[in-house]
Amino acid sequence: MRGVKRGYTRDCSVTIAVLIGLLSFTTEPAAAGPMADANKDGTVNGQDLLAWQANLFNTGKNTPGDFNQDGIVNGSDLLMWQSQLYMSAPPAPPQNTAANPEPISFTLSLLGLGGISLAIRRRDRAHPAPIAAV
């Protein structure tokens, strides 16, 4: 429809989508323990070496001792165990923490909305709709 001024429905939905995108945030997953921790006790130690020795050259998914998860327990898993020996899992984060967006994200979203609004106004002023004759 030429000559008829467009409504703001599409522009508003774009603005809302931009606002939601700017305010959305994700929480980081808890860090996992060392990969060479076969018994999942939180520390790479001799017990994990025993799991590697017991399953040497065994194949299959999730085989104890297959530290690099390539499907076979072999020498490369031993090298991983050696490189991670005595490493421990990081402490678990407190349970009552909630992820909060940084304070600057709200400011940036307001600046973005202001910029979008200004662009819409300038566009409408640059191309005014003709007045329809009645």
pLDDT in tens, 9-44: 455 555 555 555 545 544 444 457 899 999 999 899
pLDDT in tens, 52-102: 999 999 999 989 999 999 999 999 999 999 999 999 888 776 666 556 666
CA atoms of 106 and 20, how far apart (whole Å): 11
Of the candidates 32, 30, 28, the residue with the CA atom closest to the CA atom of residue 88: 32
DSSP code at position 133: P
Q: Which CATH class is domain 32-89?
A: mainly alpha
Find the helix packing angle between 75-83 and 46-54, rounded to 10°: 180
- Predicted structure pTM score: 0.48
Looking at this protein, which amino acid is placed at residue 14? V
Q: Where are the domains of the chain?
A: 1-28+103-129, 32-89
